[in-house]
């Protein structure tokens, strides 16, 4: 895999998809449908998916592609593939809360090694460089020209005063009970894959997820967090979260900065 060409391509497609998403976000009304699992899908999801998929398939036709909005791709099998969530946080989009992202990632041998997370309504962009390290970009987000970037790195957690981030739309009692085992300085909530990125930048130390997610929800944020020195492990046995699973469904997991003294499942 040529990371020198892949990374700029993923970044470009994420920005272009974000522009299309924001065009629809800015309209007075947009269509919302329900998928077979009763989750919502909008014309923004579909437009962003078409743009990203076309770009990836044109450049990398030999690489397996898995995308949330194309059910036929969900039966693909392999441990090395591109994976896309064209609009992660559809509920945030529908409710106009802004915490939605465009996620594109490369998984190699079950590990997300390169990824981009773009939050167009928040003007935040995180991605891995060709060497696998992670940066945050600021500026105008021109698809053709990379703006100012700064390396990001997980913080050094204080186990007596942890900063925790949790889901905005999927918070439940089990998550609160698990978090209660830690000495927490403060908590914040965020939608979509931004939670991984807050750990990656040191804005949070710990993100536990005790709820349903799919690999396309997590791969890009996972790659960014790995590139910033963080870790993501299964909730049950605290082994690394792997990709390419049957059906692409994730178990519960914990994303964290090394140094956090992880607690066992209750």
SS3 of 142-189: ECCECCEEEECCCCCCCCCCEEEEEECCCCCHHHHHHHCCCCEEEEEE
What is the C-alpha separation between 53 and 17, in angstroms, rounded?
A: 10
Per-residue pLDDT of the chain (266 residues; tens, 9 = 90+): 999 999 999 999 999 999 999 999 998 888 788 776 667 788 999 999 999 999 999 999 999 999 999 999 999 999 999 999 999 988 889 888 889 999 999 999 999 999 999 999 999 999 999 999 999 999 899 999 999 999 999 999 999 999 999 986 667 889 999 999 999 999 998 877 999 999 999 999 999 999 999 999 999 999 999 999 999 999 999 999 999 999 999 999 999 999 999 998 76
Q: Using CA atoms, how far apart are residues 51 and 44, in angstroms rounded to an integer?
A: 11
68 annotated to a ligand binding site: yes
Tell me: is residue 90 an annotated ligand-binding position.
Answer: yes
CATH class of 3-151: alpha beta
pLDDT of residue 42: 84
pLDDT for the residue numbered 189: 86
217 is in an annotated binding site: yes
pLDDT of residue 169: 65
- How far is 94 from 61, CA to CA, in rounded Å? 33
With a threshold of 0.75, does the pTM exceed it? yes
- Asked whether residue 88 is marked as a ligand-binding residue, the answer is yes
Q: What is the pLDDT of residue 28?
A: 80
Q: Where do the domains of the chain lie?
A: 3-151, 162-256
CATH number of 162-256: 3.40.190.80
* Structure tokens that stand for 171 in this block: 């918070």
Which pLDDT value is given to residue 38? Answer: 62
Q: Do domains 3-151 and 162-256 have the same CATH topology?
A: no
Tell whether 9 is in a known binding site.
Answer: no
What local confidence, expressed as pLDDT, does residue 170 receive? 67
The two three-digit tokens of residue 263, written as one number: 């607690």
pLDDT computed for residue 60 by the predictor: 97
- Distance between CA atoms of 10 and 71, rounded to whole angstroms? 21
Q: Residue 9: what pLDDT? A: 98
Predicted confidence at residue 106, as pLDDT, reads 98
């Amino acid at each position: 895999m040529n990371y020198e060409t892949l990374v700029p391509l993923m970044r470009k497609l994420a920005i272009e998809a974000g522009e299309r998403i924001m065009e629809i976000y800015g309209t007075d009304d947009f269509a919302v449908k329900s998928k077979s699992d009763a989750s919502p899908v909008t014309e923004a999801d579909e437009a962003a998916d078409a743009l990203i998929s076309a770009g990836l398939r044109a450049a990398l036709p030999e690489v397996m592609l898995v995308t949330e909005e194309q059910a036929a791709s969900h039966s693909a099998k392999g441990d090395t593939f591109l994976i896309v969530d064209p609009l992660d946080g559809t509920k945030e989009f529908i409710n106009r809360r802004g915490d939605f992202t465009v996620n594109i990632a490369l998984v190699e041998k079950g590990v997300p090694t390169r990824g981009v997370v773009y939050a167009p309504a928040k003007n935040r962009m995180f991605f891995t460089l060709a060497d696998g390290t992670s940066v945050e970009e600021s500026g105008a987000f021109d698809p053709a020209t990379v703006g100012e970037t700064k390396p990001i790195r997980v913080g050094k957690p204080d186990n007596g005063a942890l900063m925790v981030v949790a889901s905005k739309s999927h918070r439940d009692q089990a998550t609160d009970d698990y978090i209660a085992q830690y000495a927490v300085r403060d908590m914040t909530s965020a939608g979509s894959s931004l939670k991984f990125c807050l750990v990656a930048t040191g804005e949070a130390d710990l993100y536990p997820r005790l709820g349903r997610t799919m690999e396309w929800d997590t791969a890009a944020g996972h790659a960014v967090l790995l590139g910033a020195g963080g870790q993501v492990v299964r909730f049950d046995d605290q082994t690394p979260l792997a990709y390419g699973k049957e059906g692409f469904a994730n178990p519960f997991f914990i994303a964290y900065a090394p140094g956090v003294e992880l607690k066992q499942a209750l």
